Structure 1
Amino acid sequence: MTEQDAAAPNRFGVRPGEDSADLEYINSVGLGALANSMGIELSEFTRERVVATMPVEGNTQPYGLVNGGAYAVLGETLGSMHAGFLAPEGKLPVGVDINATHTGSSSSGTITAVCTPIHAGRSMTVHEIVCTDDNGRRCSTLRITNFYKSIPTK
C-alpha cells in the first residue's frame, strides 16, 4: 500500500483519522437501489449518529400511511451503514436481527430518522433508530444488530 492509498477515502468518503463521512459523496453515489428509490437522503453522518430523511409520498401502504416496511428499510439502511463506518479494518457488517415498534404514522411530509449506536464492539454492533414525523412525534423505533464478518480475500 502506498502513502497515497493510505490517505484515500473509504466507501464513506472518510480518510484515516476523520470522524465524519462526506455526505455529498455518499448522497452522490447513493445508498443502494432500494433506499434511493424510496428517496432516503442523509443529512448527518458522524461516529456518534446518522440522520436521514425519507418522504412519506411514495412510501405508503393502501390506507395512505407510511408502510411499516418503509420504516424497516430506513432503519436497516442507516444501522448497517453506520456499522460499516465503525467496522474494524478487514471486517464488514452483516445484519442478523432487526425489529420495529410502530407507535404512530404519517400520511404526508417527511420522516426523519436518527440512528445511534447502543453497542459498538469488535464482533457486533447494535443500533437504535428513532423515526419521527414533521411535528417531532415518534412514529417508529427500530433496533438492528449487525455481526462483523471478515472480508473475503481474493
Structure 2
Amino acid sequence: MNSPAPGVFRHATSLEQLNAHSPDTAMAALGIVFTGIGPDFLRATMPVDGRTRQPYGLLHGGASVLLAETLGSSAGNLCVQPGEMCVGVEINANHLVAVRDGEVTGTARPLHIGRRTQVWEIRIEDPAGRLVCISRLTLAVVPQRA
C-alpha cells in the first residue's frame, strides 16, 4: 500500500490516493507522478519532454519549481491536524545542472514542522543522481475552508 511508517506524517495515505488527485491539474499536464512515501519523505517523478522544456531544449526552471511545490505542499498537508491545511507562502529554487531529456525525481523532506508554519527542502535529481535543483518551500498552516 506504500503508507508511511510512523514519522512526520499524521495522515496515512497511499501513492494511489495521492495520484488520484492529479486529473485536471498541473500535475497531470506535466506528467508528475508520486512514486515514493516514507516516514519523513515524499517522492515524485516528472518527465523532461516537450511539456517541461524551455525553448532552448533544457528542463524549464518553472517546471522544477512546480514539481517542488507539488511535493512540499502535498507532504505538508499530510502533517496537519484535522481541520487544517497548508498553503504556500514562499518558494526558492537554485537550478544547478541542465537536463535535456529523460526524467527527474524530486524528494521532499521536512526542515521544520511547526503549529503555524512548515519548511520543506526538495531535492530534484537526474537519473544519474546529480542534483538538478534544490528548493526550499515555506508553508502556512491555516484553517481548512469548505
- What is the number of equivalent residue pairs in this alignment? 139
* Pairing partner for 1:28 from 20, 33, 38: 20
How far apart in 2 are the matches of 1:75 and 1:31?
18
Matches within 5 A, 1:70-149: 70-149=63-142
Three-state SS of the structure 2 residue aligned to 1:107 is coil
CA 1:85–1:40: 2 relative to 1, 3 Å: same
Give the TM-score, by structure 2 length.
0.87
Say which SS state the counterpart of residue 125 (structure 1) adopts.
strand
Once the two structures are TM-superposed, the CA of residue 134 in structure 1 deviates from its matched residue by: 1.2
Residues 36 and 72 of structure 1, relative CA distance in 2, 3 Å threshold? same
Structure 1: give runs of 5+ residues left out of the alignment. Answer: 1-12
Q: Which has the higher helix share?
A: 1
Relative to structure 1, the CA distance from residue 32 to residue 48 in structure 2 (aligned partners, 3 Å threshold; closer, same or farther) is: farther
Using the aligned pairs only, state the percent identity. 33
3-state SS of 2:87 partner: strand
User: TM-score, normalising length from structure 1?
Assistant: 0.83
Cα offset for 1:89?
A: 2.0
* Counterparts of 1:116 and 1:31, CA distance in 2: 25
- Counterpart code for 2:27: A
| 1:124-147: CA deviation from partner (whole Å, max 9, x where unpaired) | 110000001111111100000000
Query: What is the aligned partner in structure 2 of residue 40 from structure 1?
Result: 32
* Structure label with greater radius of gyration: 1
What letter corresponds to residue 39 of structure 1 in structure 2?
G
* 2:22–2:28 CA contact under 8 A, matched in 1: yes
Unaligned runs of 5+ in 2: none
User: Per the alignment, in what secondary structure is the counterpart of residue 141 of structure 2?
Assistant: strand
Counterpart residue type for residue 21 of structure 2? V
Q: CA 1:87 to 1:132, structure 2 compared with 1: closer, same or farther past 3 Å?
A: same
Q: Residue in 2 aligned with 1:54?
A: 46
